Structure 1
Amino acid sequence: MFPLRFLVRAIVLPSLAIAHPLTSAASASAFEYLISFGDSYSQTGFSITGTKPSAANPIGNPTFPGYTTTNGDNWIDFLITQYNTSLILSYNFAYGGATTDASLVAPYESTVLSLIDQVSQFSTNIASKPSYAPWTSSNALFATWMGVNDVGNAWSNSSWPTLSQEIIDRYFSQMQILYNAGARNFLFLTVPPIQKTPLVLAESTAVQTQEGAAVVTYNQLLQVGVDAFKKNNTGITAYVYDTTTPFNTAIDNPTAYGAPDATCYNGDGVSCLWFNNYHPGQAIHKLVAAGIAGVVPL
């Protein structure tokens, strides 16, 4: 376990408020709502009690692109403004530092909202399809990018082989809640190669190897979980996006993405691949969004 990582993951800087025009295209998007869950890799600082998403600000609140860990757009911002074919409103419940279930893997502090807490927010506020968010089973995409903190905080635990399965079981118990509320279109993002972050690269080769193996195990269990979820429920369309590809694309050719090397980090979010030693900058997030748009009709 690395206490420093808890601290690093807590860093959230206000982003510059830059307006992004919505992309226009002849074809219509299959989705009008993106309802998402996750951790700091996805957070925009959205509060369900604040201003609701609209054409003027598709993330609702705060000012676009929100409070991210890129000092600008993250994958959700890119997805709904540069890779969409019509207006997509984002209800993003992601919370920095989140784990799937805080009772299984503790976050860096007790106030962090886990996936369970985030789904509870959804259930309390928009599961009923209120007038401000009249989503339907066909026009809403439910996206979840969890596991970075579950793996990062617990891979070294001696119980990881069984704990990882417990995490996935809890993960899909939350997906079942979404399904029961009417969700039918799901996007699952895998855990990226966090063993290649500057933070983990500062550790021993043995640590990097073991953490990398834990990432692989988690992602395999995630895929098995998706398959079982589809088998046990009718009418599901599920997309599993392997985030290893965009991360490795940038890491293997950093200069093509404005970085001098694959390990530097800079809070501006653009001059290095990394915003800090554990969070990817804007180039990697844009690659993630582009990859998703290649497999999901937006």
Structure 2
Amino acid sequence: MPQTSDFYRYRELDGSKQQIRLARLLRSQPVANTLYKRDFIYCELEIFDMNTAPEFIALSYTWGGPSDNRYIAINNKLLAVRMNLFDFLSAFRADEANTQYLWIDQICINQQDTAEPFGDSYTYVQGTLGHQNYTFIGDEFNFSFAPAQLFSNRIVQNLTGTAEGGPNWVELLTGCGVEDGLHNPRECDVQLWDFAYAGANTFEEAGFTPLHHNHTVSLERQIEQFASYGSPALESIHLNKKKALVAIWIGINDINDLVSTQGKNASFAPLYEKIQDRVFENVEKIYELGYKNFLFMNLPPLDRGPGTPNVNASLVASFNKIHAAHANDFQSDHKDVKVLQFDVNSVLNYVLDHYQDYGFKNVTDYCPGYNQPDILTNPSQYGCTDLNTYFWYNSGHLTSRTHEVMTKALKRWLSKQ
């Protein structure tokens, strides 16, 4: 039986460059190895910069069912492919005239690494099939989607492609959709399938956490949408659930809305318990689908936001403490799961306390022209410095630069887990 060390592990592409992996079929077995049969397909997989890559043939189509597998050898390590791809490679190799490099999505894209985020405006990314300024795909009135719709969807990156005026933390973490323009998640080295919805609460309840808009998809409904349509679609492209990262950042609207609906003198701890009960009831549903890796983000320092914040540091700390207790309980109840809790609050409080070290000039206010089409090229027209010098993008959101600083800390932290 093959051991874990026998299987191919992808080398990461350099996120600072435009790079591509290309495969080249070998005519003979490169080294003697009793693990492999003589009729194996042997390939070399190489990384090239796009501007210096050799000519290649691109091939991409539906590769068959997940139970219909054969192994090939990539750089003398095993990689599972579908039977009809194996047949194609066998036929291609049989013709000695075929010496070209190949780009085949099932081989050249790292199909093992994906991220599935849920949450609110801090996490949503704009999609071509999403509600404008709110979501990657659909809304409460367009809740269902077919796999073909999901896979034809594209991440939009521009000033309004997120709630931050540029790439947000999930795009920066995955490297998917960072540059201006349209991006196919399936062509990213870490695929990003975002189900967050701007303005979302954990759940809808009149007089408690009501919908911000009639089209808003709460976290509870995001997960229902994912279970009914998103996960089955991703299964069809052979998503590895055991390696996928489910990321959840929710609560920013909950904590603010509870002050509005319950009053500033309410006893909030029981209300936060109610919120977290519902969060983890829904996390359980994702676990039941077979996902094993969960990243939870706590609330940022909302008490230090522009103007007069709705919440103080004590309320934020209470919310975060209750959230952490529920995440710990979830981990205790599921020994086969990896639960990661990133302390956004501490990281960003540190940045605020040392803001000049990160190039920020303004951490108490935001540029009034933040949403103007020429803000990036002519900020002085609105009495502003460059947007990257602001910590806050507007009254309720962080700038893309702040997301970048936070994500660098997140990546360092994840590398140690």
TM-score class, shorter: 0.7 to 0.9
Corresponding residue number in structure 1 for 2:102: none
1:184 matched to 2:274: no
Corresponding residue number in structure 1 for 2:193: 91
**Displacement of 1:221 after TM fit?**
0.9
* Structure 2 residue matching 1:154: 3-state secondary structure: helix
**Displacement of 1:159 after TM fit?**
4.4
Gaps of 5+ in 2: 1-14, 22-46, 48-108, 127-135, 139-144, 177-187, 376-386
**Displacement of 1:23 after TM fit?**
7.9
**Displacement of 1:62 after TM fit?**
3.3
**Displacement of 1:168 after TM fit?**
0.3
Note the 1:80-229 alignment, pairs <5 A: 80-81=174-175, 87-103=189-205, 104-128=208-232, 130=234, 133-155=237-259, 156=264, 158-199=266-307, 202=308, 211-229=312-330
Does the Cα contact within 8 Å between 1:107 and 1:149 map onto a contact in 2? Answer: no
**Displacement of 1:97 after TM fit?**
1.0
Q: Percent same amino acid at aligned positions?
A: 23
Matches of 1:256 and 1:53 in 2, distance apart? Answer: 41
Name the aligned partner's letter for residue 259 of structure 1.
F
Corresponding residue number in structure 2 for 1:11: none
How many residues are treated as equivalent by the alignment?
A: 265
Cα distance, 1:99–1:176 mapped onto 2, change above 3 Å: same
**Displacement of 1:64 after TM fit?**
3.2
Select 1:284's aligned residue among 394, 398, 402. 402
Corresponding residue number in structure 1 for 2:167: 73
Cα distance, 1:187–1:130 mapped onto 2, change above 3 Å: closer
**TM-score with structure 2 setting the length:** 0.57
- Counting strand residues as a fraction of each chain, which structure ranks higher? 2
Does the Cα contact within 8 Å between 2:298 and 2:343 map onto a contact in 1? Answer: yes
Cα distance, 1:284–1:171 mapped onto 2, change above 3 Å: same
1:44 matched to 2:125: yes
Cα distance, 1:170–1:131 mapped onto 2, change above 3 Å: closer
Name the aligned partner's letter for residue 293 of structure 2.
N
* Structure 1 residue matching 2:137: 3-state secondary structure: coil
Select 1:245's aligned residue among 346, 358, 372. 346
Cα distance, 1:117–1:212 mapped onto 2, change above 3 Å: same
Name the aligned partner's letter for residue 189 of structure 1.
M
1:275 matched to 2:393: yes
Deviates more, 1:161-170 or 1:63-72: 63-72
Q: Give the alignment's Cα RMSD to 1 decimal.
A: 3.1
Cα distance, 1:243–1:274 mapped onto 2, change above 3 Å: same
Select 1:35's aligned residue among 116, 120, 144. 116
Cα deviation, 1:134-178, whole Å, max 9, x if unaligned, reads: 322322000000011111211436242211101000000000000
Cα deviation, 1:94-140, whole Å, max 9, x if unaligned, reads: 11111101114124233211100110110111323545543223220
**TM-score with structure 1 setting the length:** 0.78
Does the Cα contact within 8 Å between 2:112 and 2:240 map onto a contact in 1? Answer: no
* Structure 2 residue matching 1:220: 3-state secondary structure: helix
Name the aligned partner's letter for residue 306 of structure 2.
P
**Displacement of 1:261 after TM fit?**
2.4
Gaps of 5+ in 1: 1-18, 55-59
Matches of 1:23 and 1:220 in 2, distance apart? Answer: 42
